A and B are shown apart, each in its own frame.
Chain A
Amino acid sequence: MTTKLMGTPVQRVEDQRFLRGHGRYVDDVAVDERTLHAAVVRSPHAHARIVDIDVSAVLDLEGVHAVWTYDDLAGLATPMAEPLPLLIPHPALTHGRTQYALARAEVNYVGEAVAFVVADDRYVAEDAVGLVRVDYEVLPPVVGIDRARAADHLVHDDVPGNVGARMEQKTGDVEAALAAAPHRLQLDLTVERSACMPMEGRGTVARWDPDTHRLQVWSSTQTSTGVRAAVAVKLGLDLGQVDVITPDVGGGFGVKINHPWPEELLVPLAARTLGRTVKFTEDRREHFISSAHERGQVQHIEVGFDDEGRLLALDVEFWHDHGAYTPYGLIVPIITSTQLLGPYKPQVYRVRFESLYTNTVIVTPYRGAGRPQGCYAMERTMDAIADFLDRDRAEVRAANFIQPDEFPFDQGLVFQDGRELEYDSGDYPASLEKLKALVGWDDFPAYQAEMAAAGRRVGIGLACYVEGTGVGPYEGAHVHIETSGKVKVATGLTTQGQGHATVFAQLVADELGVRMEDVEVVTGDTRRMPYAVGTFASRAAVMSGSAIHLAAKRAKEKALRIAAEALEVDERDLEIVDGVVSVKGSPGTSIDLGTVSVLSNPLRYAFDEASKAATQFSVGDPGRPPVAEGDEPGLEGKDFYSPERATFASGMHAVIVETDPLTAEIRILKYAVVHDCGHLINPMIVEGQIHGGVAQGVGGALYERMAYDESGQLLNASFMDFLMPYVTEIPDGIDIDHLETPSPLNPLGIKGAGEAGVIPSAAVFAAAIEDAERVALPDLTITAMPISPSELHALRQRHPQPRPHRQERS
């Protein structure tokens, strides 16, 4: 019997390649002297009118093949003169705006593409960029949520108040519920911007074949099918003329789901126009100022609760900074507004938000995608309630949990995919018990007192989240058993290092009964699977995993049917082990899957010994058509998975920190995670996802920010000043415990795991640092994240500062 691979820590098949430098990324494609290289003239101003662009100096530069501004675009491909697509329209997004591939008349952030140069190499292209003269009339910039709300100046003249969208959802009369609550609190919170910062930035290579009139595009993207559709539309090509291939991708974390980037269209356009392969590889500075950021929000919370800390009314209002344009719609603030609820069930909830324009880089999903902000709002509220009631923070949370027997639980809201926010399964009380045991919650007060006696400040924090994963609409898969017995699997969504080639092969090996090393997985190649959505929202395992499982099942059904005919036995008596179909209990009566594949495809021509067996004088009943009605040649299975709604993973994090009484440095002593993503396909890969997420969370909570000055210049646009944590800043060990509450929505009972590790970070660190500081400064309250030692020092200087404004019931 083959050992089942689902649930086992199978080594990643990708790692030999990646760790030995054999990964093949977009920049590794078309490395030859004929390839041309692109560079972009970018706006140095946050807000300006373009008065004139003079490219004449570039024309004399040897090695330059093209220099384009907005005025050139219409002549090259009519749709290129239109704004870039607004990918996810929403009725509340009344004032959605997108940029042009090259700025037309106005620029709205430092880094916006103004002109495009193609040259022999990137060196010459950058020389040319330096020679393009752009006259700007500088306009007043709008930087930061406060300035956007004040609306003294407008980002877009035709967007009053800088408000792109206003949206409200509610489950009842929150004002009445607040008025009736025994206790009320208000909190005002802020979260700063950060960004995905994959090691590999954006990149696109395109090659036009003049003989076949076809375009081949390689792009470092999280959606090859999306890029394909966008390129076809914008270049005026039929979809069938465009192939998009996503090779190895050096990290995405969300930023590469936005598409098409200006360069993703301009590179194919240049390839077609110039008849040469063209490459654009983004550099780090460009990634900082011309890709996307996330996270920045200001939040106001009013909460009413009883003596046990139960939420009777929760009223949240927040302001979301979406940057200069809205290509990805309202996904991030909608997720904040809905996922804020976490594992809790307030009696009445209302949320209102404004999504605001600022003259800064666009905001699109970054791992967590609005959830870290929502978790921060909710969990800081829980901490404030516990503090107010002088109750244990874990106890107050437990009092508000949805109970295991209440699933499916409808929160009464509409989620980011336009469907009901209905949790499918979970066991939050069990998670909390595991977490308390893992971190030593109940023993902590004694430890804290002991440390305090020695003049040391240690604190503990706790935060819970629920994450809607695996949103639709669908993913598909194709499984092909070749005559060699090898299994080729294709799914359309892309991979950015998660280990898809491993986990998908595990699923196929289990279902088909083949050896895992005989399974090869291809992702993100529109030639192999033209129908797909993309890799985002922790959906790859749920969506493609389920589709692959179903496709493998279909292939297996067909294999058993053909094998049963060949062996003249009942197919119910057959099993497949290590690629051999045999009668259960009688292994002598068997046939290789490869031979079954031969038999599945009636042949006229023989190419080798194996295929002889399938030729017309060898097989088939002369009285029947070689391929029966309703059947197809080949041993393949294809299927799609399209769930009615997302599946809701959950988890809880706790951290113990120590703060230095003198230098305000913050040290992580212990980090504990309890994680529930349903059935685990590969626990090692899930734990890797958690490790990476926690690392990014540490960055977001303690190190990273986008330091814009008042004029809209990003002051820290390099890895020297934008502080991603090194391994030295990450906890030495992360204690992980799993809970497996299966999802009833998919055949494997799985839930997404990609984003979870990062969601509670701002909340859990704010809580722990505050707890540590209160050893000495009982009123110190943290309301702004991330927090640096310098900021903690400043908070101490301002001590005692006001607590969240309290209102006793009058």
Chain B
Amino acid sequence: MKPAPFDYHRPGSLAEALAILAGEPGAKVLAGGQSLVPLLSMRLAAPAALVDINGLPDLDAVTVTDDGVRVGALARHADVLASTAAAERQPLLGMALAHVAHATIRNRGTTVGSLVHADAASELPVVLRLLGGSVDVASVGGTRTIAADDLYLGPLESSVAPDEIATSAWFPALEPGAGVAFDEVARRHGDYALCGVAAVVRVEGDRVVSARAGFVSVADLPTVVDVTDALTTVDAAALADLGDVVLPHLDPADDVHATADYRAQLVRVLTARVVGTAYDRARERGTAR
């Protein structure tokens, strides 16, 4: 479990990092390394060079404004999780991050790295899509913003180009009248979810204006389904039926940990539970106001 030989660069500025990437087509960006380093060690990936961005200045901030939360490329999961301001502005972020692996991994792993690694078994890509967030990327040619809906192309495949570095991610604030919830079932504490569900429900009074649910580990891509129409009335029966509404949009699969059938069962149980909780929270916020 030793990596194949590679060149190692540790640039001191973003411009320098982008120039190296532009000149080394086979290079990979190293941030927290929680996915990349095991792949290297198992020789499942053998890039010609690594561009270690941990020396770049000013990329580790978690900035909270009225509109939302901006997470820099070097902000660790633990930094985001520790930000009470971020949790206040967008509670779903912290709810999902609490399910990301273990403390030691969250201390190293970066939120932006997890987003662009584009693993449909990760919590954050679904959260970004569900909230309508985005990722800012830079290359020698300039910068651009990729909307979450345009970020994910396939399993472990994002629309970030090989010569681009994702510099930050944007998570919009919780809307007025909205409630959020997250839950997942994993084999062990901190494992990849067998199924995870996130939800954002917006209400006016008791009436659902908008309800969307996002799914972890039960589709090839981070997938969001709009379930507003299934919630004209919200009761136990309507919530229980949500599973059958969303399953046609998902593709749960068999693996060594669970059957597709069991994952589908988790979709049903968790969707009802999570959407119901998000709905209750939305109403509570309305009442509190």
Interface string of A418-452 (1 = CB under 8 A from B): 00000000000000000000000000000000000
Write out the residue numbers on chain A whose beta carbons fall within 8 Å of the beta carbon of B2.
122-123, 126
**Interface contact A793-B262, CB-CB below 8 Å:** yes
Write out the residue numbers on chain A whose beta carbons fall within 8 Å of the beta carbon of B258.
788-790
Chain A residue, CB-CB nearest to B269: A662
Q: If the complex has contacts A127-B4, A663-B269, are A729 and B188 also in contact, measured as CB distance less than 8 A?
A: yes
**Interface contact B188-A725, CB-CB below 8 Å:** yes
**Interface contact A788-B187, CB-CB below 8 Å:** yes
Q: In whole Å, how far is B239's beta carbon from the nearest beta carbon of chain A?
A: 12
A716 at the interface (CB under 8 A from B): yes
- Cα of A723 to Cα of B189 in the assembled complex, Å: 11
**Interface contact A790-B262, CB-CB below 8 Å:** yes
Write out the residue numbers on chain A whose beta carbons fall within 8 Å of the beta carbon of B43.
126, 130
Write out the residue numbers on chain B whose beta carbons fall within 8 Å of the beta carbon of A716.
256
Among residues 686 to 725 in chain A, which have CB atoms less than 8 Å away from a CB atom of chain B?
703, 705, 707, 715-716, 718, 720-721, 723, 725
Q: In whole Å, how far is A753's beta carbon from the nearest beta carbon of chain B?
A: 28
Interface string of B1-28 (1 = CB under 8 A from A): 1111100000000000000000000000
Q: In whole Å, how far is A705's beta carbon from the nearest beta carbon of chain B?
A: 8
**Interface contact A726-B190, CB-CB below 8 Å:** yes
**Interface contact B1-A729, CB-CB below 8 Å:** no
A73 at the interface (CB under 8 A from B): no
Q: In whole Å, how far is B23's beta carbon from the nearest beta carbon of chain A?
A: 25
**Interface contact A723-B259, CB-CB below 8 Å:** no
Give the contact-size bracket for chain A: 20 to 34
Write out the residue numbers on chain A whose beta carbons fall within 8 Å of the beta carbon of B269.
662-663
Chain B residue, CB-CB nearest to A728: B189
Write out the residue numbers on chain B whose beta carbons fall within 8 Å of the beta carbon of A707.
256
Write out the residue numbers on chain A whose beta carbons fall within 8 Å of the beta carbon of B187.
703, 723, 788-789
**Interface contact B185-A723, CB-CB below 8 Å:** no
- Cα of A38 to Cα of B191 in the assembled complex, Å: 33
**Interface contact B262-A789, CB-CB below 8 Å:** yes
B210 at the interface (CB under 8 A from A): no
A794 at the interface (CB under 8 A from B): yes
Q: B266's contact among A127, A284, A663, A729, by CB below 8 Å, is which?
A: A663
- Cα of A130 to Cα of B191 in the assembled complex, Å: 31
**Interface contact B261-A793, CB-CB below 8 Å:** yes
A28 at the interface (CB under 8 A from B): no
Q: In whole Å, how far is B42's beta carbon from the nearest beta carbon of chain A?
A: 7
A797 at the interface (CB under 8 A from B): yes
Among residues 659 to 696 in chain A, which have CB atoms less than 8 Å away from a CB atom of chain B?
662-665
**Interface contact A797-B188, CB-CB below 8 Å:** no
Q: In whole Å, how far is B263's beta carbon from the nearest beta carbon of chain A?
A: 8
Interface string of A757-801 (1 = CB under 8 A from B): 000000000000000000000000000000011100110010000
Write out the residue numbers on chain B whose beta carbons fall within 8 Å of the beta carbon of A794.
259, 261-262
- Cα of A126 to Cα of B4 in the assembled complex, Å: 8
Taking A130-B4, A285-B42, A729-B188 as given, write out 15 further A-B residue pairs in contact, using a Cβ cutoff of 8 Å, ordered by the A residue number: A123-B3, A123-B5, A127-B4, A127-B5, A130-B43, A284-B1, A662-B269, A720-B192, A721-B256, A723-B187, A725-B188, A728-B189, A788-B257, A789-B262, A793-B259
Partner-A contacts on B (CB < 8 A): 1-5, 42-43, 185, 187-192, 194, 256-259, 261-262, 265-266, 269
**Which 6 residue pairs across A and B have the least CB separation, nearest first?**
A728-B189, A790-B258, A790-B262, A283-B1, A707-B256, A123-B2
A-B contact pairs, 29 of them (CB 8 A): A122-B2, A123-B2, A126-B2, A130-B43, A284-B1, A285-B1, A285-B42, A662-B269, A663-B265, A663-B266, A664-B265, A665-B185, A705-B256, A723-B188, A725-B188, A726-B189, A726-B190, A728-B190, A729-B188, A788-B187, A788-B258, A789-B187, A790-B259, A793-B259, A793-B262, A793-B265, A794-B259, A794-B262, A797-B261
